[in-house]
Structure 1
């Protein structure tokens, strides 16, 4: 018997918000930032990007049956915020990179899942460990990105990260959802 399991990185209420799925040729714009709630701390925080992954699984109770896992990167419009008095294209680029970082790590997850999770038994045994490890790496990278760039204020560091993120997206291009 096959069944579908949908699990979200974020809480269940985010499943009902307005989401944008990551696409290479679609960039964020300020109209995508729809929340009026600034829950961030720090005077240099001009905007906040709420993004992450959602995955769905089609598997069987038979541990030898093939498993299908779909991993998507999303931007949550209803939880993303901006200070309209301070926004500009440079800040928007910084926020876009947060979304791009989510896609980089989704690709890393897709890659490892494709290599190691072939059956329902594999899913039951190892998927959660892979997911948790990559989620931890993702969270640490997002924190380092904001710290190192001072939320985009350090233009040299921002340029370094822009290049690094573009390079990672290219290196993992074969794990992009078409």
Structure 2
């Protein structure tokens, strides 16, 4: 009897070309001596196939759109297109779950994987009525998803199965064919995760932050904060606004996030930017060093907020499922804190015109910069 194994996989919505493998199984034998059976198809755990090292199967979920019976079988040589409809023993999902849990035991301390069952079908037709030869296809459509908290992250899709031939009465062959198809899907996923686990961000089991400042001193319209490079009035190139202020600075903060894998650990590289925009900052020609100091202190406040943010992030417990969300949340909180502090600074110093208040803020800002290690 000739069987062909076929499958294809998809990841990140990329479909790979089908791969066809031919294998010889047992011969058909006396096909007319078999008694027709209409019993549900069993799926037996005959032995442990393998124990996964990188994951365990936590559940099998039903996502089939077609809930018709699993198998459409040829009952006899005279049936023509009239096929028998048969389910798996105990129900399709229950049978698959029972088999997978039994054949692939593993430690629940590993990654939790959910198998989404998209489709399971066995469809037959008469190949040779004179000889009583039936041919069929077993088709499986599974999606393997990583369980992270309350969300499922799709990792790999498997579409494939086995093409087979049997004698018209050899219904007992359906169980080993189906078992082989399921084992094919499981082995395909296991090979993939063994290969990708050290390098795939989705499969990281821990997170380590690396934080640094953007090191370029300046760009055409941007000045990045550096203690050795204080502001000058030449950095204020914008057109003065129609108000009574002597100068204005656009100072802000931002970050870039990049990640990579090292031996199964997700390394998150956070690059922080404290900057001012020249074209959005301006000064009237009558200003002086006292006014420049007031604007420099706005810049210093932005730097203080970035350093506070670094300290906050350093104390967080992060995992691969939430690190981006947590970093973004605390950045937004820091941005709001910066705006509140800038408003308090301008309010208490009357935009720099209150010299005694300005001096108090000078000392306060210098003290915190020193405490935060900005020298």
Using structure 2 for the length normalisation, give the TM-score. Answer: 0.39
1:34 paired to 2:34: no
Counterpart for residue 271 of structure 2: 70
What is the aligned-residue RMSD (CA, Å)? 2.4
Counterpart for residue 280 of structure 2: 79
Counterpart for residue 25 of structure 1: 228
Counterpart for residue 196 of structure 2: none
Q: Is contact 1:117-1:127 (8 Å) kept? A: no
Give structure 2 stretches of 5+ with no counterpart: 1-199, 202-218
Give structure 1 stretches of 5+ with no counterpart: 3-15
Which of 94, 98, 102 pairs up with 2:294? 94
Change (3 A) 1:117 1:49: farther
Q: Is contact 1:20-1:77 (8 Å) kept? A: yes
Deviations 1:93-115 (A, max 9, x none): 00000001110101111221222
Runs of 4+ that moved beyond 3 A = 117-122
Counterpart for residue 254 of structure 2: 54
Higher relative contact order (CA 8 A, sep 6+): 1
Task: Tell me how far apart the structure 1 counterparts of residues 331 and 254 of structure 2 sit (CA, whole Å).
Answer: 11
Task: Tell me how far apart the structure 1 counterparts of residues 360 and 337 of structure 2 sit (CA, whole Å).
Answer: 19
Shift of 1:83: 1.1
Deviations 1:121-144 (A, max 9, x none): 342231122112111111000001
Counterpart for residue 357 of structure 2: 157
Aligned residues: 157
Using structure 1 for the length normalisation, give the TM-score. Answer: 0.79
Q: Is contact 2:240-2:284 (8 Å) kept? A: no
Larger fraction in strand: 2
Task: Tell me how far apart the structure 1 counterparts of residues 314 and 274 of structure 2 sit (CA, whole Å).
Answer: 17
Q: Any idea what SS the aligned residue of 1:26 has?
A: coil
Q: Any idea what SS the aligned residue of 2:291 has?
A: helix
Q: Is contact 1:66-1:118 (8 Å) kept? A: no
Task: Tell me how far apart the structure 2 counterparts of residues 21 and 68 of structure 1 sit (CA, whole Å).
Answer: 19
Counterpart for residue 5 of structure 1: none
